[in-house]
Amino acid sequence: MTGSGTNFGASEVESRPRNKCGGKLYIKTYGCQMNVYDSLRMGDVMKPLGYAPHDSFEDADLVILNTCHIREKAEEKVYSELGRIREEKQKKSARGEKMLIAVGGCVGQAEGEEIIRRAPYVDIVLGPQSYHQLPEMVTRAIRDGGGVVELDFPAVQKFDLLPESTSPQGVSAFLSVQEGCDKFCSFCVVPYTRGAEYSRPVNAIEKEAKNLVDQGAMEITLLGQNVNAYHGEGADGKIWSLADLITRLANIGGLRRIRYTTSHPRDMSDDLIAIHGSEPKLMPFLHLPVQSGSDAVLKKMNRKHDAAFYLDIIAKLRKACPDMAFSSDFIVGFPGESERDFEATMQLVKQMNYAQAYSFKYSPRPGTPAAVEEQIAEEIKDERLQRLQALLRDQQTAFNESCVGETMPVLLMRDGKHEGQLLGKSPYMQSVHVRNAESLRGQLVDVRITGAYLNSLAGEIAYTEHKIRKAV
Ligand code: 5AD
Ligand code: SF4
């Protein structure tokens, strides 16, 4: 879980006089891709008020921390970052300048007023459903000297009220199609912080997708906390599934790749499984969290599926699309997890052979049912996490190594670490480093994989080779 400054296009503007809207806007994003998307949209919302992106909180006029509440550490990181920002605010204040600080996202939603009590220099607290009201909140905070808290849940309104135009996101873009979750896994804060499931209408999504493609996107990742539960109003007024939506978006000419994340096994419907076999633009990689391999733990987690159900879905997906690769999330040390339960997780991982996966120690979240259960000792959690991560690392390395010698389409996205190197993305979400490819930046090209590491692949352009072969 990393934080990153968000740059959302446009150029810098001069600092404005005190008590006026506009100026330099710094947004720091924590957590999931939905937050990355929300940060971009916050930038879009603030643009008309004269706020332009700035890449650090130093000298910023408005700082927004777009936070994540899913695990404990992320929340503590927010408070320590606020401490650093406070010093900058004080420095600015000594110069007679103003800095507004806003805390948005899921920590904002969950903690509310508590944030202002703990960090009284914070001016605005808002939840993920209220950021369309940011301009009004900022104006109020400037007028009243802070203390603005907005935690309403008008999800429908939010998407309707956001500006239609979106900032360019480059060749690979995110698009939120669904929000919230009705699953209530017993460890998870999402149903409380993001609220009930809501699906955007197909027309609005299609418009946004076309806009992104016009601005250069070749790959779009459809986002939702429970994205495969998507059931939005279709172009014909009927309810459409995620499969219907993907089929529609696949008609957009310049769009070359479609992905979706994050999904729940229960919502992996037959039509969605089927289009993995029939829609070439849909990438053969799926993040489908299972959380645990033990049926007893899955029951306590209120996951509404057992291990066999999950494996059956995977088998159907592999049948529909034989070169499909998988990723998952795991929680170890969930209350009541015995050594045998943990072994069942290890067994499931061995059976699955993941291309990649995330694993976490259970972190009790206030207000969720599992938080009040008897907890597993920290050392046991640590030890299990290490064992699981060692296995997952081996699988990831083996998967990467299995790609060596293959030629695969890679979307060349940006500069690599070394000079003359570009970084691209394989169909399976692997980072691919390619040398001497500057002229192909932003393109989807065939790359022959020449080397494999834990977290990346090395490759060379296979494009010329094809051309020569065709010419011969
Ligand atoms: N403790 C640890 N991990 C959690 N996740 C969600 N809630 C918790 C928690 N309380 C993990 C799950 C989820 C991912 C986004 O974060 O694995 O799929
Ligand atoms: Fe949280 Fe995902 Fe479970 Fe919903 S399905 S409660 S978002 S873990």
Residues 54, 138, single domain; the answer is yes
Please indicate, yes or no, if residue 193 is contained in any of the structural domains. yes
Residues 397, 303, single domain; the answer is yes
Atom of ligand 1 nearest to the CA of 188: 7
Residues 393, 411, single domain; the answer is no
Residues 333, 246, single domain; the answer is yes
The domain that holds 40 is classified in CATH as 3.40.50.12160
User: How many angstroms does the Cα of residue 359 sit away from the middle of ligand 1?
Assistant: 8
379, two tokens = 């050392």
Q: How far apart are the first and last CA of the chain?
A: 50
Please indicate, yes or no, if residue 159 is contained in any of the structural domains. no
Are 171 and 217 contacting, i.e. CB atoms less than 8 angstroms apart?
A: yes
Please indicate, yes or no, if residue 158 is contained in any of the structural domains. no
* Ligand 1 site, residue 334, Cβ cutoff 6 A: no
Burial 266-284 (b: 16+ CB within 10 A, else e): bbbeeebbebbbebebbbb
30, two tokens = 């924590």
pLDDT tens series, the chain, 472 aa: 334 444 333 333 334 444 578 899 999 999 899 999 999 999 999 999 999 999 999 999 999 999 999 988 777 889 999 999 999 999 999 999 999 999 999 999 988 999 999 999 999 999 998 899 999 999 999 998 888 998 887 756 688 888 877 878 899 999 999 999 999 999 999 999 989 999 999 999 999 999 999 999 999 999 999 999 999 999 899 999 999 999 999 999 999 999 999 999 999 999 999 999 999 999 999 999 999 999 999 999 999 999 999 999 999 999 999 999 999 999 999 999 999 999 999 999 999 999 999 999 999 999 999 999 999 999 999 999 999 999 999 999 999 999 999 999 999 999 888 888 999 999 999 999 999 888 899 999 999 999 999 999 999 999 554 444 433 3
Residues 383, 411, single domain; the answer is no
Atom of ligand 2 nearest to the CA of 191: 6
Residues 251, 330, single domain; the answer is yes
CA–CA separation, 275 vs 232, rounded Å? 18
The domain that holds 359 is classified in CATH as 3.80.30.20
The tally of domains found in the chain comes to 3
Residues 125, 207, single domain; the answer is no
Residue among 134, 132, 114 nearest 122 (CA): 114
Atom 1 in ligand 2: residue holding the nearest Cα:
188
How high is the pLDDT of residue 72?
A: 81
Domain that holds residue 447: 407-461
* Ligand 1 site, residue 185, Cβ cutoff 6 A: no
User: How many angstroms does the Cα of residue 225 sit away from the middle of ligand 2?
Assistant: 7
Residues 443, 326, single domain; the answer is no
* Ligand 1 site, residue 370, Cβ cutoff 6 A: no
Answer with the one of 385, 402, 419 that is the final residue of a domain: 402
The domain that holds 454 is classified in CATH as 2.40.50.140
Residues 83, 114, single domain; the answer is yes
Atom 7 in ligand 1: residue holding the nearest Cα:
188
Residues 42, 73, single domain; the answer is yes
pTM exceeds 0.85, yes or no: yes
Residues 89, 194, single domain; the answer is no
Residues 77, 177, single domain; the answer is no
Atom 9 in ligand 1: residue holding the nearest Cα:
363
Ligand at shortest distance from the CA of 71:
1
* Ligand 2 site, residue 183, Cβ cutoff 6 A: yes
* Ligand 1 site, residue 365, Cβ cutoff 6 A: yes
Answer with the one of 383, 402, 421 that is the final residue of a domain: 402
Please indicate, yes or no, if residue 155 is contained in any of the structural domains. no
